[in-house]
């Protein structure tokens, strides 16, 4: 073989190697990119879920002695951070099936078998309460309440052993969630003064529902900052849930304040006719429909423009 032939063969080898490596790198990047992009999504939804429902989990812990970390981790896992079909359609955040004793609302969904019966609720808070009652009143979970409330690992394995879920890795997934999001910190809130615990329970009693969304009425002298302290929901989240009101320093007494995201459309009536002049932002707050959705549906770009009496506004 001549030196020319040797160099030519080396050049061909280098060319093919370079092309192959580029192809491998391109394929690897192409296959990996969607997962890199998706990785930030679930984490963001998870943190929003924790911000929204941590106060409820803590109040349930105080009343029923179930670790808040376990309740939150189960809620995240079972509901897909509140985004599963069952969570969105039925407010069921814990995957609890109907059973023989259930007399409430129902929803049918494929799970271990086709078209299984699941419990349905008017609001998410009811799902949290029912989860607590489900564990405390069911004999097969009795051994859990002999465990320490801050031993989330024992609780996770105890739930799996008692048959809460069929997934063989259920306990490990709960523990992973608790440790990744530091949910065990909420278990320490069981040690706060009784006066503060009573305030938390009072908040729960004040809650009601608009368009299947948790709400409470503001009191005299309330601000978003004060409500954040009372409810345990961050100021940023309260502003997000009540956009259109976030710039107000003081809230008018009796104003509906949303404690979770409004729905994209009304679940009942399709439209309303204004009895008095009002703004789209005020309608959003009254009907529990997101402001951006109302602006899009009604093709109105100015949410604070006063709309005339008699105007027809679509809610879905």
Q: Which residue has the higher pLDDT, 249 or 204?
A: 249
Question: d(Cα 131, Cα 125) in Å, to the nearest integer?
Answer: 10
Structure tokens at 191: 């040690």
What's the pLDDT tens digit per position in 136-191?
999 999 999 999 988 999 999 999 999 999 899 999 999 999 999 999 998 888 66
Q: Are 263 and 241 in contact (CB under 8 A)?
A: no
pLDDT at 206 over 80: no
Please tell me whether residue 313 adopts helix, strand or coil conformation.
Answer: strand
Q: How confident is the model at residue 133 (pLDDT cuts 50, 70, 90)?
A: very high
Question: Could you report the per-residue pLDDT of 186-205, keeping only the tens digit for each?
Answer: 888 866 554 444 444 444 45
Cα separation, 258 vs 271, in Å, equals 21
CA 93 to chain centre: 9
Residues 7-58: tens digit of each pLDDT: 434 444 343 444 444 433 333 333 333 333 333 446 778 888 888 888 889 8
Rounded to whole angstroms, how far apart are CA atoms 316 and 302?
18
Task: Give mean pLDDT, residues 299-309.
Answer: 91
pLDDT of 315 higher than 90 = yes
| H/E run at residue 74 | helix 68-79
Residue 103 has pLDDT above 80, yes or no: yes
DSSP strand E in 86-211: where?
106-109, 116-119, 208-210
Tell me the C-alpha to C-alpha distance, in Å, between residue 4 and each of 1, 8, 14, 15, 202.
Answer: 8, 6, 15, 16, 89
| Residue labelled with tokens 């803590």 | 58
Q: Is the dihedral of CA 34, 39, 42, 45 positive or negative?
A: negative
Report pLDDT digits (tens) over 46-81.
888 888 888 889 889 988 999 999 999 999 999 999
Rounded CA separation 96/183 (Å):
22
Closest CA to 66 of 130, 125, 119: 130
CB 134, CB 93: distance < 8 Å: no
Please compute the mean of the pLDDT values over residues 276-285 and round it to a whole number: 91
State the Cα torsion 226-82-267-297 to the nearest 10°: 80
The single residue listed with the structure tokens 């890199």 is 36
């Amino acid at each position: 073989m001549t030196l020319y032939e040797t160099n030519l063969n080396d050049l061909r080898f280098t060319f093919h190697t370079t092309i192959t490596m580029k192809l491998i790198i391109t394929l690897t990047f192409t296959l990996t990119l969607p997962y890199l992009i998706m990785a930030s999504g679930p984490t963001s939804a998870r943190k929003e879920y924790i911000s929204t429902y941590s106060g409820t989990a803590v109040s349930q812990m105080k009343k029923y002695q179930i670790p808040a970390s376990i309740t939150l981790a189960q809620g995240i896992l079972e509901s897909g951070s509140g985004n599963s079909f069952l969570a969105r359609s039925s407010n069921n955040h814990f995957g609890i099936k109907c059973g023989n004793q259930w007399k409430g609302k129902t929803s049918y969904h494929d799970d271990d078998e086709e078209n299984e019966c699941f419990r349905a609720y008017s609001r998410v808070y009811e799902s949290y309460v029912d989860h607590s009652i489900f564990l405390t009143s069911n004999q097969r979970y009795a051994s859990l309440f002999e465990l320490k409330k801050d031993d989330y690992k024992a609780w996770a394995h105890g739930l799996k052993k008692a048959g809460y879920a069929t997934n063989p890795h259920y306990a490990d997934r709960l523990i992973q969630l608790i440790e990744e999001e530091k949910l065990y910190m909420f278990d320490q809130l069981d040690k706060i003064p009784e006066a503060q615990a009573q305030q938390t329970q009072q908040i729960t009693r004040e809650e009601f529902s608009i368009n299947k969304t948790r709400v409470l009425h503001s009191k005299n002298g309330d601000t978003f900052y004060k409500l954040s302290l009372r409810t345990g929901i961050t100021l940023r989240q309260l502003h997000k849930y009540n956009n259109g009101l976030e710039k107000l320093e003081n809230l008018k007494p009796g104003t509906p304040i949303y404690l979770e995201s409004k729905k994209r459309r009304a679940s009942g009536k399709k439209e309303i006719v204004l009895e008095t002049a009002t703004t789209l932002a005020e309608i959003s707050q009254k009907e529990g429909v997101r402001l951006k959705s109302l602006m899009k549906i009604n093709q109105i770009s100015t949410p604070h423009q006063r709309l005339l009496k008699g105007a027809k506004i679509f809610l879905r």
